[in-house]
Amino acid sequence: MHPQKRPSHTRRVHGVAANVSEKEPSATMAQRLNKAIAAAGFCSRRKADELIFAGHVTVNDQEERNPARQVQPEDRICVDGRCLERKQPFLYYLLHKPVQVVCTLHDPQGRPTVLSLLPEEARKARVYPVGRLDYFSEGALLLTNDGQWANRLMHPRHHVPKEYEVTVRGQVAASFLEQVRRGMRLSDGTPLLPAEIEARPLRDGDKCLLRIVLHQGINRQIRRMCADGGLTILRLRRVRIGHLALGSLPSGKLRPLTEQEIARFA
């Protein structure tokens, strides 16, 4: 049998589906039997339904006639005695990274990593961070095991906007705000694209809250901008990546993305 063409991006998403009619759990790697057969490239989902109803399919050596049967990645699925090679489901998460957690899967210094915040299914699927937040920064971080999707998000030509809330000590000079809006040049000569920035004094009068939207991914960009502007950062939190807002997601927690959220980054 000839291998099927790779399905479209949203159709190959597993474990995070928001399709209520299929009633698939949104945060698990389980999937419907007919979908698993189709995802393995054996046939279409409709043809899989026919094979299942006709008694041609076994799961773990037991005949299965229910297309909606939930199967796990470790389950053995066979059609007429031929066992399928199943592809690893793609998983997509939004994590609220706390401070003092590194965005790597292993840290030579023994510091906590985002891996410690992930459920077992995500660790088994080898998800990894898309981009970075430094050790003392917090907020929205995407994780996936879909390399093509991750590369699209990180490619410079896409300029996915990222919004930050930054608390600094003291007040912010209007000249610094204008520099940022025009596109400042860092002290080391690195040119920056224009960024959106607003400043709001906080009640105690000795702090200011900055809302900054970046359209590029320079390493530690906000910290370097503020350092050049003579500002001391007290808190740096990323609250939005593209259309994905952190919202009320608690620190240290994560949620799976819906198919619609994933597709909007395609």
Closest CA to 254 of 90, 96, 18, 143: 96
Q: Which residues fall within 8 angstroms of residue 163, CB to CB, at 6 or more apart?
A: 211, 212, 213, 238, 239, 240
Task: Give percent of the chain with pLDDT exceeding 90.
Answer: 59
- 263 pLDDT band, cuts 50/70/90, is confident
- 39 pLDDT band, cuts 50/70/90, is confident
Dihedral, CA of residue 173, residue 175, residue 176 and residue 182, to nearest 10: 150
Based on the number of CB atoms within 10 Å of its own CB, is 121 exposed (0-12), middle (13-18) or buried (19 or more)?
middle
Task: Give percent of the chain with pLDDT exceeding 70.
Answer: 88
Show which residues are catalytic: 134
What mean pLDDT do residues 116-135 have?
89
pLDDT of 55 above 50 = yes
Q: Which residues fall within 8 angstroms of residue 136, CB to CB, at 6 or more apart?
A: 99, 100, 236
- 5 pLDDT band, cuts 50/70/90, is very low
For residue 179, the surrounding DSSP H or E stretch is: helix 174-182
Distance CA 94, CA 243 (A): 12
pLDDT of 30 above 80 = no
**pLDDT the model gives residue 78:** 94
State pLDDT tens for residues 73-99: 788 999 999 998 877 778 899 999 999
pLDDT of 70 above 60 = yes
The conformation of residue 87, written as its DSSP 8-state character, comes to P
What mean pLDDT do residues 168-197 have?
95
pLDDT of 4 above 60 = no
**pLDDT the model gives residue 29:** 65
Mean of all residue pLDDT scores within the chain: 85
pLDDT of 241 above 80 = yes
